[in-house]
Every structure is written in C-alpha cells, then in structure tokens.
Chain A
C-alpha cells in the first residue's frame, strides 16, 4: 500500500468510525427520550435529538464507499456499515424494543401460537395472524430460530428477519448484478443502488422473506453459471416452495415474472430469424429447465392456492377483479334534468363486508372503496359518456388522494426537494444507461426491464383508476429491472465530468440513498419525528409502551380468542399481543360504541349479534384519530361507567377494559 492509499484509507475508516459513533449517540438519545417519557406519549419531536445527526452519521459512513479510488476493503466496510443500519433499522429504531406496526405485531402472535401449540395449525390466531397463518414460511423460521437460539419470541421477531436479510440479500443482489454487468466495480455500486429503493421490507413481514427466495430462484434459473444443471433446477423448486408457503402476492408476481421471461425467450428465438442486431435476441436462454420449473411451480401454487391459500386466492381472482372492473366500468345512474342537483352514482355502494376484506384480511393494497358522486352536467348524453365521466372523476379523486397521502407524510420542504431531485436524477441516468446499453445488453437484463416496466405501468394504472395503492409495494421487486441501467448511466454521466467526476458520482449516490431512505416504511427513523398534531392511532410505535404491552398480556390471560370491541389501536395491541378478535372493521359498531355520548339499543343489539365480550377504551381516543374514526369527545370515551351491564375489569392511566356482563334481551 503506497502512502497516498494509506492516508486515504485512514480518512475513510475514520469517517466510518465517526459516523457510527454519531449514529450510536443519536440512537441512545432517541431511546432514552422514549423511555423517560413513556407515560406522556406521543413524544414531542423537539425532545428528540436533531434528525440531522442521523443523516450526518449515514453520510459519513456512506461517502467512503462512493470514492472509487479508495482500497476495496475500506469501500466494502463502508457499504457493510450502511447496509447493516438499513437492514437492522426495524429492531434498532423500535423505541421500546417491541415489534410495532400491524404486520410485525401479528407475525409475533402467529409465531407464538405455533411455538406454544408445538405445531402449525392454520386455523388458529386472530386478525391478520389468522389470515396469514395459511403462509407458514416466516412463522416456522421464527419458531426454529427461537427454539435453537433460546431467544424469546419478541426478540426473535425483532431480529430474525433482519439477520436473514443481512446474510442473504446483499450477496444475492451482488451475484445477480455481477453476472449481468460482468464488472465487479459496477456490481458493488449496483448493490448500493438497489438498497436506495424506497420500498424495502425491512420489518418482519412475509414479503420480506419471500422476495429473497424469489430473486434466488430467478438467479438459479436464468443467471447462475450452472443454470442448466439439474441441481439448480431442484434447488430452485425448493426455493419456489418456500415462496409459495411464505407470501401470496410474491408467489403470484413471481409466477407472472417467470412466465413472462419464458414467453419473451420464445419470442426472442422466433425474432432472431429476422437477424435483428440486438444481443437480447442472441442471448435468449433455453427454456427447457425454466419451463419445467414453471410447470412444477404453477402446479404447486395452484394446489396451495386452492387449499390453504384459498381466502387470498378468492380475493385476487374475484374480489380484486370485480373491484377493478367496477372502477373501469362503473355503474352509473342518470338523473333526470329536473333533478339535476342530485348526483350520479359512479360506483357501486360499499358494503361493510368489503371494508372488512380489504382492511382486515389483506394488506396487499389499502383500498378505501367508497361511493363516488358526480353531477349530471348533461343528462342527455349516452351511458358511455356518463361512464367516461365517472371514470374521469375516479381518476381525479385518486390523484387527489395520492396528493393527500404525500401531504400527510409530514415531509419537510427540503425532503420533498431531495426526493424530487432524486426522481429526476434516476430518470436521467436510467435513460443514459438504457439507450447506449440496449444493443449490447443480454436477455435477462432487457427481459427484466420489459417485465418490470410493464408491472410498474400496471401498478400506476391501478393506483390511478382502481385506487389500489400498490406502487410503494412494487419497487422492491421492480427495481431489479432498472438498477443495472441506472448504474451504467451513472458511470457514463459521471465520466463526462472529468475533473468533478468523483463529486458528481458521490453526490448522486448520496441523494439517491437519502431519498429512498426518506420514503421507507417500517423501522424508518422519520416516523419517530412526527409532530403530535399529525400523529394518528395507526402509528402504533408512538403509543406502544411497555405498560401497554403488560396490559395486552393481562388481556391474553382473560380474553384470549374472545370477541372485543375496539378501534385501530386496540386491534394492533389487544388484538395482536392479547390474541383477541377485535371488531374494529365494523364501522357501524365502532361508531355506535365510541362516537355517541350514549350507547343505543341498536348498538347493544350489534354487540349481542357479534357476541362481544369486552369493550376497550383509552385516553388517546380523545385526541387522536385512526382509520376507524375519531377523535371522540370526553363524554363519549368515558360513558362506559354509566351502564350496569358493563363492568370495568381493567383500569390503568392509559387503557380501560369493560366486560359485557349482560347482553340486551331480544
């Protein structure tokens, strides 16, 4: 090592060490603030250390990686440190060391049930734990991990998936990119580019595990040097089974992806006869082994979908399809001219059942189907015109909804500018990489870009037309189709800036990483800085204290598998940790129980009909709203003591539980 290289390494390692030190200080201060203010939640953001400390730490750790002249060891150390913090963000940033968020909390319940019962039983569980019990891949992993390591299930769920992803995912992305781009330097950069994507599933979620095996099976079938071996085929089938038993949506997406690649391969071989001068056609792989895999995978997927995964399969094939068609081809009811002020209904009315299915059973996409109304400007128009107007109305409302979501995301102006800048940069460098590369790029690279480009186009259409907000879920998959072009473009563009090449290269990567990190959900540090006025009861990490967890354990002992009335926060805590069946998805019941200052007889009949054993109330209901409604008045929240048929069985400064001693007589 020459002197210049030694000095560079010294500065690089110091930068990483200082960044890590700042990060640790920031993290300890955040957790201390939460710990010391556990009785006064949500935490006021001014009490927390400046968020800038987090960003300074990340930049200090990341910059050495982006300096291409540094020794490889220093660059890899830098990349490793950043990826560690990124992939372990969920357990590290959880304020009280508890799984927070609906998916992680119900994952914990599912794993605890298998661990306690000693066997996987798909019929047990409550809420999402019950619906996801049909997919035991992640659950069994958690159980194996807990039983072998001796860790309790809370710690296992917190750390298990992060360990899995840290061990498997970066190596896999590197392998895929190395085979596509051929150069090690490009492959390492592409690895970082992949982890700048805004939809990494770093929290304990079934998709976060299934995606690893999805990419792994793709790697074995299409990219690996031994892709034509029977061993690879056998192993890819094993991985395929893991995908099927782990996550429904990933299975269906993988089915479409591999099917499309096989189709493109056949097409490329046919078009090759026309002597098209593109490497894409010349490098189309043989389809025998991928074809065998596809047939076996399809058969296994069909068997699982029609047995254990039936409820999800019905959702995809019937519920989802009919909802989409209702949006594309809405039912319109023309109103006569003399009743012009009345609206035209452009979508079917929503049943309570639909709300339950979309919000409760599945987490594929948050759909808030509700009737849309448009005024009849010209009732003499034909039905087709009215339908077109209704669709236009839906699109307009969807766009407004997306804008509302962005506004409610609590982004500072600087953050919005950074994200906007990153989007422009990515678009420009991807185009720069795509056009020069398209002629020489091999089949898998172009094939992936075509397939995932198509998937993204469908996702955009779905969010605009059908309101299925699926885009944030897609990038983790689809980014694979673009990252190689982005990297190629980044090198091509930075090469044009001779003297300032390194500055451009570093700036672009840092901006991309920050903007992707800003948009992440699940363990993201931004979520801790939401000002109290923007907090909702759906952001459970802001309210989930050890005291609340204690209460849920009391609930488990007294109301396990019983029916309970509660809203979102109760669903996420008492439902997930306490294993109760919380009826938060029934709007009429929830309104009747919480909104009014008295409980009517009709609400009591509903309580009886649903066999409700207890009603939960808590102090946050007065101040914060949730997806189920609110905030409510003091009288509405505290009315439960007024009824002889309700008995206060749990009381703390935060939560009260009332058992229903007697239902209304028929």
Chain B
C-alpha cells in the first residue's frame, strides 16, 4: 500500500499518534522532536482537512500548498479569535488545545461533507453498494 493510501485510510490513527507524541514530548521536554511535531501541528494537521474538504489531493503541489498555507492561516486566525473573544490565555497548554480543537472541528466538517458525497453517489448509482 502506498504512503498516500496509508494516510488516507488511517488518518485518524495518525492524527491521534501525532497529538499523543507531541503531548509526550512536551512532558519530557525533548526539544528536537517536539520541534518537528510543532511544525506538523502548525503547518499540516488543520490544512489536511481543509484540503480534503476542498477535494484537493495533498500529494500534488497545489494540494500541498493549500494544506500548508491554510494550516498556518487558520491556526493564526483561530487562536487569535479565541484569545480575543473568549480571553483564552496564550500559554503552552492552551495553544496546544486550541490547535487540537481546530483540527477536531475541521475533521468533523470533513466527515460531514464526505458522508454527503457518499450519499449523493449512492443516490445516483444505487448499485454501488450492492456491487461492493
């Protein structure tokens, strides 16, 4: 199975692994690896779902760029908005949790839109499930 297929089929497990790994690295204060997981949280995790919602393949240049740029933009806007509107303090734990909340929201939107797509597909092609 290719890397692409692996990520597409096991995205939830990968996501949980990343967040658990980052939390563990924070606890043990291991900076070099924490730096890597931080880059993933800032530049990849939220954007992955934005790219999927927009039906972009993240393994193309276009999809990869959308993933990186939307991750960064949404992280900044989301954390700034929560800080300003709900007065959530910008400390290590809160920033981590806010990032996680953003990813959960985007993943939920992705799941909703994906389900709708499947549904439409089944309406159009009723034999789709039977054949499967």
Contacts and interface: CB of A to CB of B under 8 A. Distances in A.
A211 to B, nearest CB: 12
Nearest to B93: A147
Interface string A207-242: 000001100100000001110010110010011011
Interface of A: 114-115, 118-120, 136-137, 140-141, 143-145, 147-151, 163-164, 167-168, 171-172, 174-175, 178, 212-213, 216, 224-226, 229, 231-232, 235, 238-239, 241-242, 245
A216 B61 contact: no
A144 B73 contact: no
A144 B96 CA distance: 9
Interface in B65-84: 65-66, 68-70, 72-77, 79-80, 83-84
Given A140-B76, A141-B76, A147 B90 contact: yes
Interface stretch (B3-11, B39-47, B122-130): B39-47
22 contacts: A115-B90, A119-B87, A120-B83, A120-B90, A140-B76, A143-B90, A148-B38, A148-B42, A149-B35, A150-B35, A151-B31, A167-B68, A168-B68, A171-B64, A172-B69, A213-B69, A224-B62, A225-B62, A229-B54, A231-B54, A231-B55, A245-B80
A319 B58 CA distance: 46
Ranked nearest first, the 8 interchain pairs of A and B with the lowest CB-CB distance are A149-B38, A118-B89, A148-B38, A147-B95, A231-B54, A149-B35, A242-B73, A171-B65
A242 B68 contact: no
A144 B75 contact: yes
B29 interface: yes
Contact of B38 (A118, A143, A145, A171): A145
A373 B123 CA distance: 81
B103 interface: no
B90 A171 contact: no
A119 B90 contact: yes
Contacts of B62: 175, 224-225
Contacts of B70: 235, 238
B107 interface: no
B15 interface: no
A171 B61 contact: yes
Contacts of B37: 148
Contact of B76 (A144, A150, A226): A144
Contact of B96 (A147, A167, A213): A147
A168 B69 contact: yes
Contacts of A229: 54
Contact of B68 (A145, A171, A232): A171
Interface of B: 22, 26, 29, 31, 34-35, 37-39, 41-43, 50, 53-56, 61-62, 64-66, 68-70, 72-77, 79-80, 83-84, 87, 89-92, 95-96, 99
A245 to B, nearest CB: 7
A10 to B, nearest CB: 28
B26 to A, nearest CB: 7
A260 B64 CA distance: 29
B80 A168 contact: no
B90 A168 contact: no
Contacts of B64: 171
A378 B73 CA distance: 61
B65 A175 contact: yes
Contacts of B89: 118-119
Contacts of B92: 147-148, 150
Nearest to B29: A150
Contacts of B42: 144-145, 148
A174 B60 CA distance: 12
Nearest to B35: A149
A241 B65 CA distance: 18
B51 to A, nearest CB: 10
Nearest to B50: A235
A358 B64 CA distance: 41
